[in-house]
C-alpha cells in the first residue's frame, strides 16, 4: 500500500509529514501524489529525506502520479533523477 501525500504540503505541515512517513517506512517505498495539489519546494525536502532513509536500508523511493509542477521543481533543483522524476 503506497504512502499517500496530502492535498497540501507546505512549511506548515512538512515536518509532521516527514515524521509520519518515517513511522510508515515500509509504505514509503511507494509515495502516491494523486491528491497533491498545493505545494512548494518543501515537498522535495521531505521526499529527499525519505529517499535518504530508504537508501540507507538498500531501498529506493518510487513516486507515483507526480504533478507536472513537482517534476519541474525537481528538475530546477537538480534532484529529478534522485527521485525518479526525470
**CB neighbours of 25 closer than 8 A, spacing ≥ 6?**
53, 54, 57
Domain ranges, ordered by start, for the chain: 3-76
**Residue 9: which pLDDT band, with cuts at 50, 70 and 90?**
very high
CATH classification number, 3-76, choose in 3.30.750.24, 3.50.30.10, 3.30.450.40, 3.40.50.800: 3.30.750.24
Tell me, what's the pLDDT at 28? 85
pTM for the model stands at 0.93
| Predicted pLDDT at 26 | 81
- Give the pLDDT score at 25: 82
Give start and end residues of each alpha helix (H) in the chain: 14-23, 42-56, 68-76
Q: 22 vs 16, 17, 28, 54, CA distance in Å? A: 10, 9, 8, 10
Q: What is the pLDDT of residues 25-79, one digit of tens each?
A: 888 899 999 999 999 999 999 999 999 999 998 999 999 999 999 999 999 999 9
What pLDDT sits at residue 4? 95
Amino acid at each position: 500500500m503506497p504512502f499517500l501525500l496530502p492535498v497540501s504540503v507546505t512549511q506548515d505541515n512538512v515536518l509532521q509529514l516527514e515524521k509520519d512517513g518515517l513511522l510508515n517506512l515500509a509504505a514509503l517505498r511507494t509515495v502516491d501524489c494523486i491528491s497533491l495539489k498545493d505545494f512548494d519546494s518543501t515537498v522535495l525536502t521531505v521526499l529527499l529525506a525519505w529517499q535518504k532513509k530508504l537508501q540507507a536500508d538498500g531501498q529506493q523511493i518510487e513516486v507515483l502520479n507526480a504533478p507536472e509542477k513537482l517534476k519541474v521543481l525537481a528538475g530546477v533543483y537538480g534532484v529529478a533523477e534522485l527521485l525518479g522524476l526525470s
